[in-house]
A and B are shown apart, each in its own frame.
Chain A
């Protein structure tokens, strides 16, 4: 379709593509918007993972965040759907070809306000989808109203002070039976990238709640979704690095210093211990630590919970190996003889 930029052949990955092959159109978001830095990490992660862009399908709802899929992976199919209704679109679309991986970007309004229903239900279906919420506590695209993740008492120009309790997206995901729950911060690009890699290796749904400051409407130092607040309050559960399948772990770690999470595809996520002992397989512990983080006003980041082997939605449908969207008439229309059988069934 559109002319593809010729990738720089000086530096290519294992599938022969340069980083440029993973880019999209130039961003039209504000300078400094957290969403842009997340787009960059998506590009970097996919490039480093040697994924063919054709292997990925992008989805989004409506919002500044939801616009961002145009700004990465220009060679991937994508769909920018309706406000709050992206999960159903992704669910239907991914039935088309079970070999594809879904990558979705949503906003806190898109997910936790209008889209709360579909968000919760796509979690319980365990669709194979990387579900990134670019969480800024505000509606960017409609110019600065409160979102459902805004903290009580947040003051916004033209809106007054927020009277309602916030929704905690990671908490909702955990309660909603998500099989991969992480939180990160756009101001911590390395962690964002490693988490995206891990998420892309996950068998089912991977929810990434990424605090992504809106520099235009909600970036006062006192606001919990601001850069300054995040930098000051970030508490990482661990230092995280992703090791692709069949690759050796190169670094030597001290006994007890790391925990290895083996993903369903054989890749590994190495969690290097920081201050706390943390076991991401333990759901009760995950809930406890989120409560503690809340009480102590931490921006808790890292892999909060994982269940790597739970079958995904498509796994339970016993579908043909041939992608459904490549089946032709001879496999879709029952043979002529069967009409008699149908009529016999009708009494």
Chain B
């Protein structure tokens, strides 16, 4: 992962005239061009990629977003939307000499409709604020990325963000009813509606998860969910993450659908303990199961869950006894990434998905791969849906170790794909995994996705040179079908 220069398809600097047009679009207090201020925007949560943008605009309205995008369209200037900049794949990384459109000032909750269970928000609204707003009525906004106290709904929509509870409640896309979008030509259009099944193609479904490459969303209608009667969280200590993983499979096989099932290994427990003192039992594999629903149901299912933990050799089982204890359990889990700093000078956060049943095998293989290059990998994962977050620990000060760590992290992704999984479950492809996308999908698959891209953005000015393995031009046509390497190897099949 070296520094990247992505603007070579475009001009290398914004002209004074272009800057003046941008100023006219968003007003003088909505434009940043000074170098030191621009530096705030040079990266997102993936900090080893940095590019200085040409300008940042801070629109307050959809009309201002339109005006800024029209300037970009007129001059074919690349633009990158930005929420809170917490993305972990370089999605909000600016294009050199491009424009960053920060949605931070569009942060109003426009409508709360409890009887019809939706809210309408601007893209800069912080995820956690939605739940805060509807909680007094007994509702919540379900997608809960660990970054929820800072990340924005616009960023969530772009990444189709998940969180611990998406096992039961689904992802951002599950909860997105309608979107206003400024297309890369500056047109403002509406996808979907607060009522279901708006006639036409499901463009809201397509836009969610498109990582800022199809336009800028300026208004979002989100579904809200009734808060369950009871929520209970169980912690169970096992000798290994594999044993914890087996318990997860058994819970699923018993026909239960907990709201969350998370696993942490020893390294992750150590780090989380050091950071937030969550009082986790020290063990080889810690399983966290959250059940919610009607009180009677939860009691019955909690009983079954306990029995399955015991069957798989849990050495300690605890159920959080108060809301305070439960929050502490989650605090430890949500702090796990950041806590790695306590046990390692540097680390890479990876995000891969495997079929749940491959868990024991993949964990063993990751251990073996790490040992072979003398590195440690901490594991934190959304076990219920097979979403791994291997954290590759290394020391930048040791010559060559960063490259080895990066290589290991990519090989782990390839392993996920080889086992029938995905290179990303929630952090997106962005800048970081462009090449890995080419490992997961074959050329015709990618060319087909490009048809969508070109329909929205024929000049490729919206977040260019992200997601796809190489810069493509909209004149490219998909070629004939060629078997994916995985198919020829007999690992996967087309049907």
Partners in one complex: no
